[in-house]
């Protein structure tokens, strides 16, 4: 055995050389891995070995380039020289894959002459998720093996395929039971059977007959999902090059486009996001071995909009749920909505009809809170009313077993006050799901003053298990996400009175990259949330709309009118007249507002509030704020989230604009955050700030 570099060693199993990579946690292609691979191939080629296996220790095959190296200068050897050495080696090289062969990892495997994999192994080019494209020949090699259509799908989604599919499409040559023995046996056979030293670059059969319409049709099919992102289009262009150009010219095109993406802010934002999402799981002061409550049964109180969706998350993960409503009618209505959601998914082919029954079978309904007695985690999702929530938590305290975690899905209320209604405030925590709760990934976990580490670790852990992106924050009105949203709402409301129609504000935010603007969002949520006809006094546009029967999408009209069939929104002159008349009564002078002002007045108060949230220690780090906004409200990921976006603009400029609006418009929300001022004077940033 020869230790080639700190992470790569060369071993021999009789006549087979094994280049073994051990670079935890994911065997990324760090400089010493590239060097080791290059040395390994060179030394194995000049040794007595007849064939070579590239294999990894640990949990996975190479999972890609080392993303942490992207910010520094390139370190030799580059990946291409490693790949050239492999492809041109005079002895057969077999890549032995377990875990995930991703990005540069798959691109290395594609330069072996053959590939074998174990069941459960996965193969993908996820660079698009980092705002990039596979920059080591993957864009030219993958289509040559899978055909352009499959490559388009894999490279624009970034999603891996499994071993079975990889075998079927020829990406791997054999499925083996035991990785090392199987790979070594294949390597010996390659020699005895004199298998050719196949180079994917020389193959053109799979791309030769690509239909001309493929690219146009594919672009149309992903347009909505990829709006605003550069990388999917760049990946498509590379596959076009693989079809239209020879290998070397295609490679050159790949390199040009890769460099373009790498230089841009989108890839920086998306790489930042990759680490941000992982950082959010690390809680200072919460040891990794903190005991958690095993959630064998979950209780959900309230089967309304949120309760039903929350229950679905658990049933989808195979965890039984007890859902309790105040009466049978509400319970049956709630369960009916859950069933029809599942049936809709099944009709679209997302799950089978057996899955529908299995999942419904995991949800048991009741009108007796006593049925929560055997639940390990109970999530309350009743109306947003403090008195009601306190009453309920007092009851839960009397019913739930010792050690159970008691969570509230409140969107804004004080978790400490809710906890005070119990004799076990340490067990009480906020678990704020976002609507629709079965779809949205965001989960704000809200710790109260007394919340125990066990409750925090349980909420974060179960959040991950049910496929959410949990972010921990502290107590304040609206927590991280809604508190910032309220600030945007204040300015958006003011601007419609000052002269910008709701549809224009919505359009500007849509163009910025949000799935919808504030008014379309209010219509979707329902304008009458929190509205009471008895106390309504026409004091806001929203109240006026509700009073005139406009409740949002659900009854066909709100800020917009909705087509009953397509749900397409059209602005209504009646609403505009209502707004104008209201502004006149308030003595507001209407004027022309520029697009730039609209954008700044919507987004800068959010940045300012995000900084205040950080300053108060409510969020642990700037990147947590970005994770909340990207996952919870569709802030465009390619800008990195509000904190990263503000850093990209320059905090000095952001501070100046906030101060400008503070002096011209006034209001607490424009009072500049001390953190922004400090970071400006220290040359610091918001996205890297951590408490
Ligand atoms: N580079 C550097 N660090 C990486 C990394 C990478 N490519 N991939 C993962 N890590 C780190 C993570 O940050 C994390 O660090 P932490 O423990 O300090 O937080 C640790 O490895 C473990 O990662 P996960 O928590 O994500 O572990 P999982 O087991 O959940 O997932 C994985 C493993 C599926 C490999 C997942 O980490 C992943 O998807 N990684 C990224 C894969 C990728 O994007 N590869 C392409 C890179 S770009 C490229 O190759 C360009 C090329 O074309 C030239
Ligand atoms: P909803 O009105 O759709 O559902 C509430 C349900 O609770 C109703 O079905 C009601 O019958 C039931 N309920 C009321 N009192 C009860 C009691 N004593 N016992 C059992 N069931 C009772 O409300 P929604 O929208 O689901 O909101 C629930 C909670 O989730 C609120 O705290 C809200 O702020 C929060 N939330 C709402 C979001 C949304 O977009 N709708 C998003 C995130 C959080």
Phi-psi region of 469 (alpha: psi -120 to 50; beta: other; left: phi over 0): beta
User: 137 and 37 share a domain?
Assistant: yes
Adjacent-strand bridge partners of 472: 445
Cβ neighbour number for residue 578 with a 10 Å cutoff = 16
User: 158 and 41 share a domain?
Assistant: yes
Burial of 288 per CB tally in 10 Å (0-12, 13-18, 19+): exposed
Query: Helix H segments across 430-513?
Result: 453-465, 481-498, 502-512
Residue numbers of the chain with a pLDDT score lower than 50: none
The reply to whether 269 falls in a domain is: no
User: 246 and 357 share a domain?
Assistant: no
User: 235 and 180 share a domain?
Assistant: yes
Cβ neighbour number for residue 481 with a 10 Å cutoff = 25
User: 400 and 512 share a domain?
Assistant: no
Q: Of the candidates 561, 590, 543, 546, which has an alpha carbon nearest to the alpha carbon of residue 503?
A: 561
Nearest CA to ligand 2 atom 19: 326
Tens-place pLDDT, residues 562-604:
999 999 999 999 999 999 999 999 999 999 999 999 999 999 9
Q: Of the candidates 383, 380, 432, which has an alpha carbon nearest to the alpha carbon of residue 628?
A: 432
User: 405 and 520 share a domain?
Assistant: no
Tens-place pLDDT, residues 80-136:
999 999 999 999 999 999 999 999 999 999 999 999 999 999 999 999 999 999 999
Calculate how far, in angstroms, residue 130's C-alpha sits from the geometric centre of ligand 1.
11
Domain ends where: 263, 284, 309? 263
User: 365 and 228 share a domain?
Assistant: no
The two three-digit tokens of residue 204, written as one number: 């053109």
The two three-digit tokens of residue 457, written as one number: 């670790």
Nearest CA to ligand 1 atom 13: 275
Give the catalytic positions in this structure.
Answer: 107, 127
Dihedral angle over CA of 201, 204, 206, 208, nearest 10: 150
Q: How far apart are CA 521 and CA 691, in angstroms?
A: 32
Adjacent-strand bridge partners of 102: 124
The two three-digit tokens of residue 34, written as one number: 């590239």
> Mapping DSSP to helix (H, G, I), strand (E, B) and coil, where does residue 51 land?
strand
Q: Give the pLDDT of residue 451.
A: 98
Ligand whose nearest atom lies closest to the CA of 324: 2
**Residue with structure tokens 């010996």?**
188
From the CB of 127, is ligand 1 less than 6 Å away? yes
Which of 299, 300, 301, 307 maximizes ligand 2 atoms within 8 Å of its Cβ, making it the mutation to test the pocket? Answer: 307
CA-274 nearest atom, ligand 1: 13
Q: How far apart are CA 421 and CA 398, in angstroms?
A: 11
Q: Give the pLDDT of residue 176.
A: 98
Counting the structural domains of the chain, the total is 4
The reply to whether 284 falls in a domain is: no
Burial of 649 per CB tally in 10 Å (0-12, 13-18, 19+): middle
Asked if 473 and 445 count as a contact pair (C-beta separation under 8 A), the reply is yes
User: 243 and 367 share a domain?
Assistant: no
**Distances, alpha carbon 437 to alpha carbons 121, 227, 299, in Å:** 31, 24, 15
Q: Of the candidates 98, 134, 82, 125, which has an alpha carbon nearest to the alpha carbon of residue 26?
A: 98
Q: How far apart are CA 136 and CA 133, in angstroms?
A: 9
Identify the CATH number of the domain in which residue 117 sits.
Answer: 3.90.226.10
Helix (H) or strand (E) segment spanning residue 66: none
Whats the size of the chain, residue-wise?
691
User: 50 and 160 share a domain?
Assistant: yes
Tens-place pLDDT, residues 428-471:
999 999 999 999 999 999 999 999 999 999 999 999 999 999 99
Asked if 131 and 67 count as a contact pair (C-beta separation under 8 A), the reply is no
Nearest CA to ligand 1 atom 22: 25
Ligand whose nearest atom lies closest to the CA of 432: 2
Dihedral angle over CA of 281, 284, 290, 294, nearest 10: -30
**Distances, alpha carbon 659 to alpha carbons 592, 611, 662, 687, in Å:** 21, 14, 5, 21
Which of 21, 23, 25, 82 maximizes ligand 1 atoms within 8 Å of its Cβ, making it the mutation to test the pocket? Answer: 25
Asked if 2 and 46 count as a contact pair (C-beta separation under 8 A), the reply is no
From the CB of 380, is ligand 1 less than 6 Å away? no
Calculate how far, in angstroms, residue 628's C-alpha sits from the geometric centre of ligand 2.
21
From the CB of 101, is ligand 1 less than 6 Å away? no
The reply to whether 691 falls in a domain is: no
Asked if 48 and 13 count as a contact pair (C-beta separation under 8 A), the reply is no
- The distance between the two most distant Cα atoms of the chain, rounded to a whole number of Å, is 92
Rounded (5°) CA angle 417-418-424: 105
User: 257 and 112 share a domain?
Assistant: yes
Which of 26, 67, 80 maximizes ligand 1 atoms within 8 Å of its Cβ, making it the mutation to test the pocket? Answer: 26
Which of 27, 64, 280 maximizes ligand 1 atoms within 8 Å of its Cβ, making it the mutation to test the pocket? Answer: 64
From the CB of 281, is ligand 1 less than 6 Å away? no
User: 123 and 82 share a domain?
Assistant: yes
The two three-digit tokens of residue 30, written as one number: 């760090």
Ligand whose nearest atom lies closest to the CA of 142: 1
User: 344 and 200 share a domain?
Assistant: no
φ, ψ of residue 13 in degrees (nearest 5): -110, 90
| Residue 351 DSSP class | S
The two three-digit tokens of residue 638, written as one number: 């390619």
The reply to whether 395 falls in a domain is: yes
The reply to whether 280 falls in a domain is: no
Residue 580, domain extent: 500-585
| Residue 177 DSSP class | S
End-to-end Cα distance, the chain: 47
Ligand 2 pocket (Cβ < 6 Å) reads: 301-307, 324-326, 330, 334, 381-384, 392, 409-411, 432-435, 525
Nearest CA to ligand 2 atom 40: 435
Calculate how far, in angstroms, residue 53's C-alpha sits from the geometric centre of ligand 1.
23
Asked if 582 and 661 count as a contact pair (C-beta separation under 8 A), the reply is no
> Mapping DSSP to helix (H, G, I), strand (E, B) and coil, where does residue 435 land?
coil
Domain ends where: 555, 585, 615? 585
Q: Give the pLDDT of residue 71.
A: 85
> Mapping DSSP to helix (H, G, I), strand (E, B) and coil, where does residue 5 land?
strand
Strand 93-97 to strand 16-21: parallel, antiparallel, or no bridges (unpaired)? unpaired
Q: Which residues of 589-613 are buried (b: 16+ CB within 10 A; e: fewer)?
A: eeeebeeebbebbbbbbbbbbbbbb
Interacting residues of 110 by C-beta distance below 8 A, sequence separation 6+: 137, 138, 141, 142, 145, 200
Query: Helix H segments across 514-650?
Result: 518-525, 541-547, 573-585, 595-615, 622-633, 642-649
**Distances, alpha carbon 550 to alpha carbons 490, 516, 535, 541, 559, in Å:** 20, 19, 17, 11, 8
Calculate how far, in angstroms, residue 456's C-alpha sits from the geometric centre of ligand 2.
23
Phi-psi region of 425 (alpha: psi -120 to 50; beta: other; left: phi over 0): alpha
Ligand whose nearest atom lies closest to the CA of 274: 1
Nearest CA to ligand 1 atom 47: 64
The reply to whether 677 falls in a domain is: yes
Calculate how far, in angstroms, residue 307's C-alpha sits from the geometric centre of ligand 2.
7
Identify the CATH number of the domain in which residue 556 sits.
Answer: 1.10.1040.50
From the CB of 136, is ligand 1 less than 6 Å away? yes
From the CB of 104, is ligand 1 less than 6 Å away? yes
Interacting residues of 556 by C-beta distance below 8 A, sequence separation 6+: 562, 564
Domain ends where: 475, 491, 525? 475
From the CB of 288, is ligand 1 less than 6 Å away? no
Q: How far apart are CA 250 and CA 143, in angstroms?
A: 12
């Amino acid at each position: 055995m020869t230790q080639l570099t700190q992470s790569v060693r060369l071993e021999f199993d009789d006549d087979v050389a094994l280049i073994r990579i051990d670079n935890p946690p994911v065997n990324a292609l760090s400089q010493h891995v590239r060097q080791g691979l290059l040395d390994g191939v060179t030394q194995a080629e000049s040794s007595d070995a007849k064939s070579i296996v590239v294999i990894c220790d640990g949990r996975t095959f190479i999972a890609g380039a080392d993303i942490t190296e992207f910010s520094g200068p390139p370190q030799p050897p580059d990946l291409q020289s490693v790949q050239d050495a492999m492809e041109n080696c005079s002895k057969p090289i077999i890549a032995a894959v377990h875990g995930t062969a991703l990005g540069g990892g798959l691109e290395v495997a594609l330069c072996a002459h053959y590939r074998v994999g174990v069941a459960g192994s996965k193969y993908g080019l996820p660079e698009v998720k980092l705002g990039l494209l596979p920059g080591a020949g993957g864009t030219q090699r993958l289509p040559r093996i899978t055909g352009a259509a499959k490559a388009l799908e894999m490279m624009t989604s970034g999603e891996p395929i499994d071993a079975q599919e990889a075998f079927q499409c020829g990406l791997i040559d054999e499925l083996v039971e035991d990785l090392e023995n199987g790979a070594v046996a294949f390597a010996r056979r390659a020699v005895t059977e004199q298998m050719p030293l196949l180079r994917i670059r020389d193959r053109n059969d799979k791309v030769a007959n690509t239909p001309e319409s493929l690219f146009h049709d594919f672009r149309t099919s992903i347009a909505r999902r990829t709006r605003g992102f550069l990388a999917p289009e760049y990946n498509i262009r590379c596959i076009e090059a693989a079809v239209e150009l020879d290998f070397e010219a295609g490679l050159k095109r790949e390199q040009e486009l890769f460099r373009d993406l790498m230089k841009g802010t989108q890839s920086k934002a998306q790489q930042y996001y990759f680490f941000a999402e992982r950082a959010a799981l690390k809680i200072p002061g919460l040891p990794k071995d903190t005991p958690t409550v095993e959630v064998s049964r979950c209780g959900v109180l309230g089967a309304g909009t949120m309760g039903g969706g929350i229950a679905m998350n658990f049933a989808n993960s195979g965890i039984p749920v007890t859902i309790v409503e105040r009466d049978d009618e509400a319970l049956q209505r709630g369960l009916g909505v859950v069933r029809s959601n599942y049936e809709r998914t099944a009709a679209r082919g997302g799950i089978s009809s057996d899955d529908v029954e299995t999942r419904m079978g995991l949800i048991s309904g009741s009108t007796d809170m006593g049925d929560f007695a055997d639940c390990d985690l109970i999530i309350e999702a009743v109306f947003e009313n403090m008195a009601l929530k306190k009453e309920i938590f007092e009851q839960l305290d009397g019913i739930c077993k010792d050690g159970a975690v008691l969570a509230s899905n409140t969107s804004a209320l004080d978790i400490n006050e809710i906890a005070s209604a119990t004799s076990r405030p340490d067990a009480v925590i906020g678990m704020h799901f976002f609507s629709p709760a079965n779809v949205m990934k965001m989960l704000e976990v809200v710790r109260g003053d007394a919340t125990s580490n066990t409750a925090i670790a349980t909420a974060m852990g179960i959040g991950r298990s049910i496929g959410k992106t949990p972010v921990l924050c502290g107590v304040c009105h609206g927590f991280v996400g809604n508190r910032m949203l309220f600030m945007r709402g204040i300015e958006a409301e003011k601007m419609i009175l000052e002269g910008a129609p709701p549809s224009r504000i919505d359009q500007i935010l849509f163009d910025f990259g949000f799935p919808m603007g504030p008014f379309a969002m209010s219509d979707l949520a329902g304008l009458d949330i929190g509205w009471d006809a008895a106390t309504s006094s026409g004091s806001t546009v929203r109240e006026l709309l509700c009073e005139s029967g406009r409740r949002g999408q659900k009854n066909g009209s709100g800020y917009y009118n909705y087509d009953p069939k397509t749900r397409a929104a059209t602005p209504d002159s009646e609403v505009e007249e209502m707004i104008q008349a209201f502004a006149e009564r308030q003595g507001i002078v209407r004027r022309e507002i520029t697009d730039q002002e609209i954008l700044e007045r919507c987004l800068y108060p959010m940045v300012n509030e995000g900084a205040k949230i950080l300053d108060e220690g409510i969020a642990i780090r700037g990147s947590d704020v970005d994770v909340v906004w990207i996952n919870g409200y569709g802030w465009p990921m390619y800008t990195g989230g509000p904190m990263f976006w503000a850093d990209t603009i320059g905090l000095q400029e952001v501070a100046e604009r906030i101060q400008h609006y503070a002096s011209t418009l006034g209001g607490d929300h424009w009072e500049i955050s001390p953190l922004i001022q400090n970071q400006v004077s220290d040359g610091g940033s918001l996205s890297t700030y951590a408490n």
